Structure formats: C-alpha cells, structure tokens
Amino acid sequence: MELPLSKLNEEQYAAATAELGHNLVIASAGTGKTSTIVGRIAYLLQNGIKPEQILLLTFTNKAANEMVERLSRFIPTAKEIEAGTFHAVSYRWLRKLNKNIVLKTPKDMKILFRSIYSKRDFNRILGEEKPYSANYLFELYSLFLNSNEKSLESFLEKKAPNQLEYVLVYESIFEEFEEVKKEHNLVDFDSLLIRMINKLKNGIDNPFVEVLVDEYQDTNPLQNEFIENVKKHLFCVGDYDQSIYAFNGADINIISTFDKRYKNSRVFTLKKNYRSYGEILAIANKVIANNPRIYPKSLEVTRGYSGEFPKVLIYNDTFEEYRDLANRIYTSTTPRDEIAVLFRNNSSADTIEAMLREKGIECKRKGGTSFFESREIKITLDILYFILNPKDIMSFVHIVEYAKGIGNSIATDLFEALMILGDGDVINGFLKPNLEKKVFVNKKTSYQLGLFDDFKELGSISRFKNLGFEDKFLENPILKHPKLSVEGAEFLYNFYLLLKRINILKNPHSIFNEVINSKVFEHITSNLAKERSRNKNGKIDMNLYEEKKEAIKRKVAILGNLLKNYSSLEKFINALVLGSSEMSEGKGVNLLTVHASKGLEFKEVYIVDLMEKRFPNIKLSKPAGGIEEERRLFYVAVTRAKDKLFFMLAKRDRIKNIEYEPSRFLIEAGYNINS
C-alpha cells in the first residue's frame, strides 16, 4: 500500500500527505500531478477513509479511468472510488435518485432548441440589431448557465449589450426549452450540474469525505458551485499558467482566490519538471513571466540540457512553411506517433494534413469525424433512443425529418400531437391513439415574444385513403396535419409498422435487427447513399450508389457487434452517451490545436504560424482572457515538447494576401528576429 507514495519526490509527498482540509497543489507542466493525485488517494485509503467516501473530479473520463486503474494495481478496492467528469458523476448520482432521466448530447439538444427558436418570427419584430441565430443563442445559453449569473439581463449587459432589446424573446425561448426538457425527463450537460446542485442544497445524503479536483484552473462558476456544495474536505490540483478555457467559461479567479476564500488553506507547489530538456523550459519560464504571478513558481530542470536550443524557422509564405514542415517530418528519425504539429486554430490544419499525406506520412487529427458522428450511425442510434424513451423529442424529430416534406416544425407538431394522443407516450400515440383528444389546435400569440398566429385548417384524411394503410392507422388524427404530404404519410405508416413489430420484443439484438431490416431504415439509408453518389451534374451514379449503400450496411453492422456486449438497450445507450471522443482514432503524426494538446507530451513538437494575428490571435481571445490567455496557450504548447521543439512562421499568406509580423512571444523568448 505504500508503493504509490514511495515513488513521490519531497514536494509531491508533502502535498499528498497533507492533513484533511482545503489543500491546493500548483502543479506546473510535467511535474507529476497525476502521481500526486494517485498518492493522495492512497494516503486517504491508508488512513481509514473508505473508497466510496472519495470523489475524484476530472475533465475527461479517460483521465479518471487511468488514475483509478493505476491505483487499483496496488489497492484493489480503489475501483470503488467515484471518479469521472463533473457530468458523468452527476449523471450517475441523479440516475440513482431518478431512473427515468435521459441524458442527451449537446448536438441533440441543439435540434430541440432550434425547433423552439423557429416558432419565433424575428422578421416581424422591428429591432435595431440583428438577433442571434438559433445555434449561437444555444451556445450563449450554455455560457449563461455556466456563468452562474443570476439573470439573463445582467449577463447580456456584460457580454452582449446590443442584444438587450431581445431579452424577453430570449427568456421565453429558454423557458420553453426548460419546460420541454422537464416534461420529457431530458437532461443535458448543463442541467445535470444544476439539478445535482439543487439536490445537494436540499440535503440529499452526501457520502464524500474528500473531493479531489484535477485541472482545477479550468473550472467554471457552475462547476465551482457544485464543488462548494459537495465538498467537506478539498484537494485541488491545477496550474494557473495552463488556464486556457476562458472562451468556454473557465474562470481563472477560482484558482487564484483559493487561499483567500478558504481560511487555513494550504498551497503546495510542484516545480520539478520531468518532461522537457532545460532549453525548452527556459523559453516557457521566460515567456510566461510576462503574465501576473498568482502564486510564486518556476519550472526546475531534472532532465538536464540537450545542448540544442529550439530553432525558429522563417519562410516567405505559409505554403513554403507547411511544405518544409512535411519534409522535416519525412526525414525525422522520431517515431511518427511521438511527433506533434500544434496550431492556434484549425484553419492551418487542412493544408498541413494535405502536405503530409502527399508525402505518404500518416497523420491523425483530434476532433475529426468519429464513427459515432456519421449520419447512418446517428440515425440508427436515434431510432434506438426513441424505442427506449418514447418521450425523446429530438430522436423523433431526427427520424421523421428524413421523410420528404417533413421539416423541423412539422416534425415537432407531429410529436406534440402523438404525445397528446398517447397520453404522454408517442409509441402509444401511434399504436393506441385516444381518438377523443384534440390535436393541432392554435397556439398562443405574442408580438413581444415573437409568437404569431399561424392558423391551421386541418387536412382531410381521405387524401391518403388509397395508399394501402391499415384502417387503424388511417383513423389516426396525425394524418390531419395540413402540411403532411403523401410521402410523409407513407414514411409515418412504415414507422408505425416498425413500432408495431418491436412492441412485442425485449431482446436488444432482435430489436436492432428489426430496425435495420425495416422499410423506414431502407428509406433513410437509400437517401444517404443517393446523397453520396451524385456526380457533378447532380445525377446519381448507380454503381457508386450500390457501393455507398453497402458501405452504410457495413458500418451499421459494426454497431450491431458492439450491441452484443450489452444485455439491455438502456445499458448500451447510456454507455454511448457518456462515452467520450477524447482520443482520436488512427495512427501517425498528431495534428492538434493547442487546446487539444493539453495534458499530452511528445518527443518532437512543431508550433506553426507564430505570427501576430495568428498566434497570438487577439480577435479570438479578446472576449475571453485576452493576451494573457494567449500567452498561457503558448506556454502550454511549448511544454508539450520533451526533446525537440521548432517554432515556425511565415512572412505572408499568399492565398489570403496578408503580410505578417513575427509573434511577440518569440521576441519575449529572447529571439532576435528581423522580419
């Protein structure tokens, strides 16, 4: 049991064995913060605290799993520790309290949000400023919730005062969004934390003696409120010089005021860097010293010096820069997966990837389209989600939008009607509709809230009489929607037949097979294959069509194989929703934004486009942390390198026809650059 502690250096050991209370560990890049956290948990277990009394909060589930796995090699009971992201921990806890909640991804929630937004006719509201789009307003709402600001009006006054004229409309959209979520037992990542905080404030049983928080510098106000309400004793590990998520709501003041907010708190500093050669650390220390020093610290060299200072490589234009980057990597003796190319934002990535692939160099981009993001997999999962939870409005909308003539608005109307007809269950609305209920009634109007009267004259069901529908389906009032086309009605009928067949099935594999062999699924996959097989003239290449259709079938079959590992649909779906795409697939050179590189290390690192307006990019950082945040980004980029580091910049971008000056960070690092 002593082993995790016995490997720590003096600084790490002092932190890991601190008395219970409020402890903060400032862990600079490469100083062994994971070893310190693992050592701390070992110390707690050794001193009588039970595994189920320990809560470990991380910013990726992968980090949590790795720490628990590392610890359980020495202490098997460590697997009983509650560990994961703020959202994963909250979800598991809430599920124990209410099994009926359904977690949806941000992409799914955005579909629901857009359907609510689309009911407002902003064209008929005469505002001086253009209102935010649905997508932008959705992101703004998330920032508002995570800011912990008390009112939307005060939030807009700080962030977007020119949008205050729409505050009542925005509030009505947010309120309806929350009402729909509550009605259908849906939770998203933001509402998970809010619900959990409310439960804690209402005095639910809290078993945790100590809460450990990794990457503490990246916490936002809502996460901090969760910590405040769940903690008895606190052990936080972070580095204010690596706080780079201000754009996402992270508040550096949370870590910087720790010793002021908690009386008798203790602050420990880890300074010994085990990752990088001395020349690399010298640059990191020199540049970051231009930012305010919140707690005194400086990285100390343990690996010694390589004898080679990081090189600055200057090119006439970005094309030449990326070409030479590919040539250098081609001739490098460093294993490809130990090489990283870091950029401030993704605009550089496409050309770099093309240059590398041109030379036959394998590479992977973190954040690329994953298996689960492909449309055929997403729609398959949507059908399974809906079967599992007939109140799932987003999945229903995603499915029926594949029918010709059914868009977001009509799909939402149909869902609401089926909910009424099925007494709160859409599947019942299809199979056992209550014909006495009225549907498609006029909605409320309000000029002030952007809601206008769109009177519907109900359509006649007789227009679908000769389509071969079962009499029972022909009675269904959803067919009275005035904008429902023949193709739309046929799609709904095939969906009805699928639901009828699976209604008697329990086995998840049988349900899956019924889905993929249904007419509804055939219609959807055929549409996807057609989209992917059109030539330049818009005509369908039939040979390509058959190829694409087979490719879709193969991909969906992979999902079926994954399902074999689960005894129920619910367990399978929960695993997928909480499963993260934290690591990229594939192999080869790593192409990463600086944000995506956080927490990683590589033998050979190239930081590209080190020019003013590119890195630092004041335009991107101004709404968040400004030049200090950009400098922290540079610090994070530099400290990813273990052995070799190259700085690359170009004098101009020939495509955009822009001239560039060298990045101020290179000047701050001590390089004498004549542009």
First to last CA, the chain: 58
Domains in the chain, number: 4
User: What would the mean pLDDT of 374-378 be, rounded to a whole number?
Assistant: 86
Residue 540 CA neighbour count, 13 Å, CB half: 14
Which band of pLDDT confidence, cut at 50, 70 and 90, is reported for residue 581? very low
Residue 572 predicted with pLDDT over 80:
no
- The string of pLDDT tens digits covering residues 507-551 is 888 999 999 999 999 999 999 999 999 887 778 888 889 989 998
pLDDT at 445: 53
Strand partners of residue 363: 589
CA distance 621 to 344: 11
CA distance 55 to 89: 9
Task: Name the residue range of residue 597's domain.
Answer: 307-362+582-669
- CA 249 to chain centroid: 14
Q: Is residue 525 part of an annotated ligand binding site?
A: no
Q: Is residue 450 part of an annotated ligand binding site?
A: no
414 and 539 part of one domain: yes
Q: Residue 502 corresponds to which amino acid?
A: I
CA distance 442 to 507: 41
CATH of the domain at 609: 3.40.50.300
62 and 46 part of one domain: yes
Over pLDDT 90: what percentage of the chain? 51
Which band of pLDDT confidence, cut at 50, 70 and 90, is reported for residue 575? low
Whether 323 maps to a domain, the answer reads yes
Whether 370 maps to a domain, the answer reads no
389 and 468 part of one domain: yes
329 and 261 part of one domain: no
84 and 211 part of one domain: yes
Residue 554 predicted with pLDDT over 90:
no
Q: Is residue 64 part of an annotated ligand binding site?
A: no
602 and 665 part of one domain: yes
- Give the helix/strand (H/E) hosting 10: helix 10-16
Whether 614 maps to a domain, the answer reads yes
Q: Is residue 334 part of an annotated ligand binding site?
A: no
Boundary residue ending a domain (139, 155, 184): 184
- The string of pLDDT tens digits covering residues 197-245 is 999 999 999 999 999 999 999 999 999 999 999 999 999 999 999 988 8
Burial of 407 (0-12, 13-18, 19+ CB in 10 A): middle
Bigger pLDDT: 101 vs 171: 171
Residue 454 predicted with pLDDT over 90:
no
User: Could you tell me whether strands 311-317 and 186-187 are parallel, antiparallel, or unpaired per DSSP bridges?
Assistant: unpaired
Residue 57 predicted with pLDDT over 90:
yes
525 and 661 part of one domain: no
- The string of pLDDT tens digits covering residues 335-372 is 999 999 999 987 778 788 878 877 888 888 764 445 66
Whether 34 maps to a domain, the answer reads yes
139 and 151 part of one domain: yes
Whether 243 maps to a domain, the answer reads yes
Q: Measuring CA to CA, which residue among 86, 258, 81 is closest to residue 94?
A: 86
Q: Is residue 238 part of an annotated ligand binding site?
A: no
Buried b (16+ CB within 10 A) or exposed e, 67-98: bbebbeeebeebeebbbbbbbbbbbebbeeee
pLDDT at 655: 72
Residue 582 predicted with pLDDT over 90:
no
Q: Is residue 33 part of an annotated ligand binding site?
A: yes
Omega of the bond prior to 616 within 30 degrees of 0, cis? yes
pLDDT at 638: 97
Which band of pLDDT confidence, cut at 50, 70 and 90, is reported for residue 621? low
Whether 296 maps to a domain, the answer reads no
Find all residues with CB under 8 Å of 220, minimum gap 6, and list them: 146, 147, 248, 249, 250, 251
Residue 606 predicted with pLDDT over 60:
yes
pLDDT at 422: 93
- The string of pLDDT tens digits covering residues 177-206 is 999 888 888 888 888 898 999 999 999 999
Buried b (16+ CB within 10 A) or exposed e, 200-226: beeeeeeebbbbbbbbbbbbbbbbbbb
CA distance 171 to 650: 47
Which band of pLDDT confidence, cut at 50, 70 and 90, is reported for residue 460? confident
Which band of pLDDT confidence, cut at 50, 70 and 90, is reported for residue 396? very high
Q: Is residue 30 part of an annotated ligand binding site?
A: yes
433 and 528 part of one domain: yes
Q: Is residue 27 part of an annotated ligand binding site?
A: yes
- The string of pLDDT tens digits covering residues 291-334 is 988 887 878 899 999 888 999 999 999 989 999 999 999 999 99
**Token digits of residue 666:** 């290179």
Burial of 516 (0-12, 13-18, 19+ CB in 10 A): middle
Boundary residue ending a domain (184, 216, 251): 184
383 and 480 part of one domain: yes
531 and 395 part of one domain: yes
Residue 675 predicted with pLDDT over 70:
no
Whether 283 maps to a domain, the answer reads no
Sign of CA dihedral 463, 466, 467, 469: positive
Boundary residue ending a domain (221, 248, 270): 270
Residue 455 predicted with pLDDT over 50:
no
Whether 558 maps to a domain, the answer reads yes
Which band of pLDDT confidence, cut at 50, 70 and 90, is reported for residue 661? very high
* Total Cβ atoms within 10 A of residue 138: 22
468 and 498 part of one domain: yes
Which band of pLDDT confidence, cut at 50, 70 and 90, is reported for residue 447? very low
